Amino acid sequence: MATSNLQQYTIADFLEWHRKKQLKLNPDFQRRSVWTQAAKSYLIDTILRNYPIPKIYIRSRIDLRTKKSYREVVDGQQRLRAIIEFADDKLILGSRAKEFRGYRYSTLSEDIQEHFLSYTVAVELLINASDEEVLEIFSRLNSYNVRLNDAELRHAEFQGDFKWAVHDTSMQWGKDLWERFSILSMRQRVRMLDDSLMAEMFGVILEGVTDGGQRNIRKLYVKYDKDFPNKEETILKVNEVIEFIVRNLSLALDGPISRSPHFLMLYAAVAHALFGIPQGKMGERMPARSSHALSNISMVIENLGYLSQILESDEPPSEAYLKEFWMASSGTTQRIASRRKRFPVYFRALLPQRL
Q: Which residue type occupies 81?
A: R
d(CA 307, CA 260): 15
Would you tell me the crossing angle of helices 231-248 and 193-207 to the nearest 10 degrees?
110
d(CA 94, CA 82): 13
State percent of the chain over pLDDT 90.
Answer: 73
3-state secondary structure 122-186: EEEEEECCCHHHHHHHHHHHHHHCCCCCHHHHHHHHCCCHHHHHHHHHHHHCHHHHHHHHCCCCH
Could you tell me which CATH number the domain at 3-145 has?
A: 3.90.1530.10
pTM of this structure: 0.82
**With contact defined as beta carbons under 8 Å apart, do 342 and 261 qualify?**
no
Q: Is the pLDDT at 34 greater than 80, yes or no?
A: no
Q: What is the mean pLDDT of the chain?
A: 92
Q: Is the pLDDT at 108 greater than 60, yes or no?
A: yes
Q: Which residue type occupies 142?
A: N
pLDDT band, very low/low/confident/very high, at 133 (cuts 50, 70, 90): confident
In degrees to the nearest 10, what's the CA dihedral of 258, 264, 265, 270? 90
- The SS3 call for residue 262 is helix
Q: Where in the chain is the domain with CATH 3.90.1530.10?
A: 3-145
Mean pLDDT of 98-121: 96
pLDDT band, very low/low/confident/very high, at 1 (cuts 50, 70, 90): low
For strands 23-25 and 3-10, give the pairing.
unpaired
Q: Is the pLDDT at 143 greater than 90, yes or no?
A: no
pLDDT band, very low/low/confident/very high, at 235 (cuts 50, 70, 90): very high
State percent of the chain over pLDDT 70.
Answer: 96
Q: Is the pLDDT at 264 greater than 80, yes or no?
A: yes
pLDDT of 2? 65
How confident is the model over 66-104, as pLDDT tens digits?
777 788 888 888 999 999 999 999 999 998 888 999 999
Q: Is the dihedral of CA 128, 133, 135, 137 positive or negative?
A: negative
How confident is the model over 163-204, as pLDDT tens digits?
999 999 999 998 889 989 999 988 899 889 999 999 999 999
